[in-house]
Structure 1
């Protein structure tokens, strides 16, 4: 029993840090801000009013428009009149969201800033490649169970190429040389192919935005992730922690800017997540036709 409790706590701490979603950056949802030089308070008002804003980061200017999610997930002429998403667990979600933000602000963001200051970008890219390659067997199994045989073949090809020519996955010749694109698929994606609904929106401690299906997916993958087969405890936990810090380091600045510019950060990040889910679902439906 003690082992299960420790494992669950470690899973939350070590795997979830990387789940802060970047803003949706599609042509439909990102529009050039009308006044990029506006002050921070003005930007907050624009964002909360449904207008796009321009945010300056070390990577340059990014343009952000708030997502409006209706019950029917259908576009409307006036987004301000769209019925809002029913969030039955909003009280709990807001409490966890506040806890997560405090953990990011006082722990994860300083750690990721130090990581970026010490580790150069090319090395961070290799670290990301290594962990992405380590996940390929899990992608392969999920694609097979989903009936996506060609995608599973791409997973196998990528894993073999990147594990050998790519020096244990530190490089990605499968993409750059052989043009085999990543085909990531989670347990949640597999469940969706069998008609399992997403369930209510849910914010998990340190795992950020999700839903019931997504939360089950994260916990399940914590037990079957390939890292558990290449390292024993506590080394596998340390590897997952390193992976989480590396992943979050690429998103921390964007997260901070979006949080500061949203009048209600909880609603903003919730709607971005739901908008992304809807977009992915529509893409899969159009692809299957």
Structure 2
């Protein structure tokens, strides 16, 4: 039986056909995880417009007028508050070692670190965790559900969106009677978060909506599985 050899043109066509067929499952997966794309895209465009003309310029102004040492202190203070959320969700997930690290960070930074203004825990080897109730639900097998873009709040999923509300009980905002102080602290958290994104931000080429969606979903899977994610390639 003779073996048939493909010429360059035939080989190229085979490669192209194989590549296209390989993209079919990926396209189907994207459709399944984002069935509400027709609604999500307008919300994404609205958020992007508000960010471009309001949030981003505000964050840039904050970075310009605020000394770096002050920015660092504010970020450390807010991160110290966030460690309460990390501790709570690590306990809910049964991650006792990580919960111990969170406890150590809270004790060290809240005392020696002057209520969190100075991060003394990280140099001591107590690295900050990043946990939330959405990850806790995912840890116990709750599926993410469809991708959702929330007005002003950005990318989320049907599982993660309501979980954000649960996480507010681990933050001090819910327990503050002084409205001005509560709003100021919440606003500082949003401003610090946006300014941190400026440092890591890079121009996005192509479909920005798809880029943000894929980055969010992959990032959530990475966090829920604690980095143990199989590479499709």
Identify the TM-score tier after normalising by the shorter chain.
Answer: 0.7 to 0.9
Which structure is higher in helix share? Answer: 2
- How far apart, in 2, do the equivalents of 1:281 and 1:80 lie? 26
Deviation at 1:138, TM superposition (A): 2.0
Deviation at 1:200, TM superposition (A): 0.7
The superposition leaves residues 3-25 of structure 1 with CA deviations (integer Å, 9 ceiling, x where unpaired) of xxxxxxxxxxxxxxxxxxxxxxx
Q: How many residues align?
A: 207
Distance 1:143 1:170, change over 3 A: same
Aligned to 1:169: 116
Task: Identify which of structures 1 and 2 has the higher relative contact order when contacts are C-alpha pairs closer than 8 Å and 6+ apart.
Answer: 1
TM-score, length basis structure 2? 0.80
Q: Considering only aligned residues, what root-mean-square deviation do their CA atoms show, in Å?
A: 2.3
Aligned to 2:69: 122
Q: Do the aligned residues in 2 keep the contact of 1:162 with 1:174 (CA within 8 Å)?
A: yes
Are positions 1:210 and 2:156 aligned together?
A: yes
Q: Do the aligned residues in 2 keep the contact of 1:155 with 1:183 (CA within 8 Å)?
A: yes
Comparing 266-275 with 226-235, greater Cα deviation is found at 226-235
TM-score, length basis structure 1? 0.65
Aligned to 1:232: 178
Deviation at 1:267, TM superposition (A): 0.9
Deviation at 1:271, TM superposition (A): 1.3
Aligned to 1:197: 143
Deviation at 1:141, TM superposition (A): 1.4
Q: Which runs of 5+ in 1 are unaligned?
A: 1-75
Aligned to 2:132: 186
Distance 1:253 1:129, change over 3 A: closer
Deviation at 1:234, TM superposition (A): 3.4
- How far apart, in 1, do the equivalents of 2:105 and 2:199 lie? 30
Structure with larger Rg? 2
